[in-house]
Chain A
Amino acid sequence: MAAVSVKDKKKTINVSSSRLPVYIGPITGWIVIFVFVPLGVVLYFSFLRAGLFGEIINIFTFENYKTAFQIKYAQIFLRSFQLACEANILCILIGYPLAYWIARYGGRWKTRLMSLVIRPSWTCYLIRLYAFKTIVGRTGLLNSFLLSIKLISAPLEILFTPTAVLIGLVYTWLPFMILPLYASLEGLNPRLLEAAEDLGATPFQTFIKVTLPLTKGGLIAGSILVFIPSLGDWLVPHVLGGRRVLMAGSLVAYHFMEVGNIPVGASLAVSLSTIVILALYILIKVGGKGALERIV
C-alpha cells in the first residue's frame, strides 16, 4: 500500500512539473498583458514630456515627479489615505460583529444570510451610488424620515461632503471585508473557545486571546480588499463628493482628462501605485500567509 502511494505521488509530481507551463501559462500571460504591460506603459509615460497641447513628446525627464511630489498633492494623498483608513476601520467595526454573528449563530440560515451580504453586488456599482445619493440627499429618504420622527429640525448636510464619501466607501466595500472575515471565523474550531472557557477565560479574554489572533488572516485579507480600492477610488468622490472632495484617484483622472497632461497624470498614478504596493507589502507582512490564502 505504502509503495503504491509513494509511486503515485512521484508520478503526480512528475506530471505536474512537465505540464506546469500549460497550467500557469494562460494566467501568467493574462497578468502580464493586462497588468504588467499597462503598468509599464504608464511608468514609461511618467518619464516623458508633454507638449503645448498635451501631446506626448519622447524626451526623458524627471520633471513630472517633481510636480507629483509637491506639498499640495501630498495633502490630497494624505486625505485619501485618511479616508481609506477610516473606511477600513468602519468596515471592520461593522463587518466583524456581523460575520461573527452569522458564523456563530447563523445555523441553517448561514448561506442565506451570506447571500444577503453579497446580493447588493449584483447591481452595478454606479447605480448603487446614485441610489445612495437619493437616500442621503437633503430631500432624501434619510432626512425625510428623521424629520418626520422629529429627531432633527433641519435636514442633515451629508451629500457632497467628505462624510458622504466615507459612507459611500464603507457602503461599497463592506461585503469585501465580511467575506474573508466570515471564512476565517467559520474555520475557527469551537473546541478552542470551549477550552478557553473551561480554563476560566471571560468572553472578552477569549475573544482577545483566541478568536482575534486566529482570525487575523481574515482581518488582514479584508483590510487589503477594502483599503487598497478605497485609496485609489475615483467614482465615490465623483458621485457622492460632488467633485468637491478631491482624492488621489480623482487627481490622476483630472490630470489625464481635464488638464490633458498624461505624463504628470502618469507620474501621480505611479506614485499612487507605489503607495498601494507598499501598503500591500506591510499588510501581507503583518497578516502572513493566512491573509493571502483568504484573498485567493
Chain B
Amino acid sequence: MVKEIKESSKGYKFMIGILTVVLCFSFLTGMALAKPVKTYNEYVASLPAGYQPVPRACFEQAKKEGKLNILIWAEWWPAELFENYSEQFGIDVVQDHYSSYDEVITKFKLYPKAEYDLVIGMGLSGFGRMVGLNQIQKLNSNWVPNVTKYTADSVKKDWRRLGFAEYGIVYCAYFSGYAYNPKYVDDARIPSMAVLLEPNAKYKGRVTLVDDMFEVIGDALIYLGYPVNSTDEKQLMEAKKLLMKLKPHVMAFDTWPKRLLFEEEAWVAMTWMGDAWNMHADLPNLKAALPLEGSTIAYDPIGLPPSSTHPAAAHLFLNYIFRPDANVILTETVGHSPVNTAVPELLSSEELKKWPGAVLSKVSNLNRYQFLNSDSYTGKGLELRTEIWEELKR
C-alpha cells in the first residue's frame, strides 16, 4: 500500500515537472514574440532595425486609451497578431465580427455612434461606400510611418487615384479567379475565365459563383472585353445574356464554397485567390487560376470610423501590422497578396510564393485586372446590376 502511494506520488511529481517545463517554455516563447513595452524609449529600442516607430504622442495616447475595438470580417486574421499586439503594448483588443460589408454599412447607417476603432476586411466596394457615406474618418498619416515606408508605390498610386489616400490603409490586394478540382477539370483553356463563364455540359451543375453581384457581373464584363464599372446598358445586357446562359449550370451562389469543393459536389468555383489558398490548406489537390484576360482586383483597406474612441491605439495597431515580421504572419494566414514590399521574400512557404496572384510583382499584365468603383455601386450602374442580379436569381 505504502509502495503504491509512493509510486503514485512519483507519478504526480513527474507530471507537475512536465507541466512546469511546458508553462515556462510557452511563457518564454510568448516573451520572445512580444516583449511588453512600458515606455516610449523601451518601445523604440525593441524595434528591429529599419522598422519605424509611431511618434511619442501617438504611443502615449494609445497607452492611456488602453483599448482597441475592432470590427472584422469573420475570424480570418491570425489570433497571434492581436495577442502579440495586446501583450506588447498592454492594450486590450476586443473583436467583433461581421459576415458581409453590407451588414457594417447598415449598422453604421442605423447607429452612427457604434463604438469601433477599426473596420477591417470591407473590400474596396464596401470601403468606397463607407467613405461616400462619411462612415470613415481621415487618418493621421504621420502616425503610421511603417505604412508609408513599406507600401508598394504602385499601390500608393492606385490608392491616390481611387481617392482614398487620406482614408484608411491597404494591407493586401486580391484577385478574383476560380478554384478547380483537377480530378474533373482538365480544360485546356485554363487559366481563362471561359472555364467558369462559358457553359460547358461537362460541368453542368458543378459550378459555383460568389454571392456578390458586383464581382460576378464585373468579371462577366471583363471577360467580354468591357470595363468592369460599365454603366452602358448594352454592355451590361450582354453580360446578363452570358450569365443567363450560364445560370442552368450554376449549382449555388456561395462565397465560401469550401464544403462543396471538399465533398466534390462543385468542381469549379469562382473565388478570390487568397480564399482559394485558404481552402487549399485543407484540400491539397485544389488548384486555382488567375484568368489571363483579367478579372477584378481589389485592395482590402482598413479604416477608422468617425465614432472611434481609441484612435491612437488604432494607429499604433496599423503601424504594428505593417512591420514586415507581423505582416508576414498575416499574409501566410489570409493568403492574399501583401502590399508590403518587404514581405514576399520573408514568406516561408514556397508554394504560397508560386500561388496565382499571391505576389503582386509576379502578376503579368497587372493592368488587365480592374478595380470596382462607385460607378458600379451607385446610380444607374447599381440599378442595372440589381436588375441583372434579381433576374439571375429569380
Contacts and interface: CB of A to CB of B under 8 A. Distances in A.
A159 B213 CA distance: 22
B263 A257 contact: no
B253 A242 contact: yes
A52 B379 contact: yes
Interface size range on A against B: 20 to 34
Given A54-B129, A75-B394, A258-B102, A243 B265 contact: no
Nearest to A259: B386
A53 B106 contact: no
Interface string B188-212: 0000000000000000010000011
Contact of A259 (B254, B263, B265, B382): B382
B133 A54 contact: yes
B213 A72 contact: no
Nearest to B126: A260
Contact of A243 (B102, B133, B211, B264): B211
Interface in B102-128: 102-103, 105-106, 109
Interface string B209-243: 00111000000000000000000000000000000
B390 interface: yes
A138 B260 CA distance: 10
Given A52-B378, A54-B105, 13 more contacts: A52-B379, A53-B374, A72-B390, A137-B265, A157-B205, A159-B265, A244-B252, A246-B394, A256-B106, A258-B100, A259-B386, A260-B377, A262-B106
Contact of B378 (A53, A76, A159, A246): A53
Chain B CB within 10 Å, residue with most, of A53, A243, A244, A256:
A53
28 contacts: A52-B379, A53-B132, A53-B374, A53-B377, A53-B378, A54-B109, A54-B129, A54-B133, A72-B391, A72-B394, A75-B394, A76-B394, A137-B263, A157-B205, A242-B251, A242-B252, A243-B211, A243-B252, A243-B254, A244-B250, A244-B393, A246-B390, A246-B393, A246-B394, A257-B106, A258-B212, A260-B102, A260-B129
Contacts of B391: 72
Given A243-B393, A246-B393, A258-B102, A55 B133 contact: yes
B103 A257 contact: yes
Interface in A239-278: 242-244, 246, 254, 256-260, 262
A160 interface: yes
A139 B261 CA distance: 12
Residues of A contacting B: mostly: loop
Contacts, number: 69
B263 A139 contact: yes
Contacts of B213: 258
A279 interface: no
Interface of B: 100, 102-103, 105-106, 109, 129, 132-133, 205, 211-213, 250-254, 263-265, 374, 377-379, 382, 386, 389-391, 393-394
Interface string A197-236: 0000000000000000000000000000000000000000
A141 B103 CA distance: 35
A239 to B, nearest CB: 10
A48 to B, nearest CB: 12
B254 A242 contact: yes
A3 B109 CA distance: 65
Contacts of B382: 259
Contacts of B252: 160, 242-244
A137 B206 CA distance: 12
Contacts of B265: 137-139, 159
A52 B102 CA distance: 15
Nearest to B383: A259
A137 B393 CA distance: 21
A2 B270 CA distance: 81
Contacts of B386: 259
Given A138-B265, A160-B251, A243-B252, A55 B109 contact: yes
Contacts of B211: 243
Contacts of A118: none
Contacts of B212: 258
Nearest to B382: A259
Contacts of A55: 109, 133
A262 B109 CA distance: 10
B263 to A, nearest CB: 5
Contacts of B103: 257
B132 A52 contact: yes
Nearest to B252: A242
A56 interface: yes
Contacts of A160: 251-252
B109 A56 contact: yes
Nearest to A257: B102
A138 B378 CA distance: 39
Contacts of B390: 72, 246, 254
Nearest to B211: A243
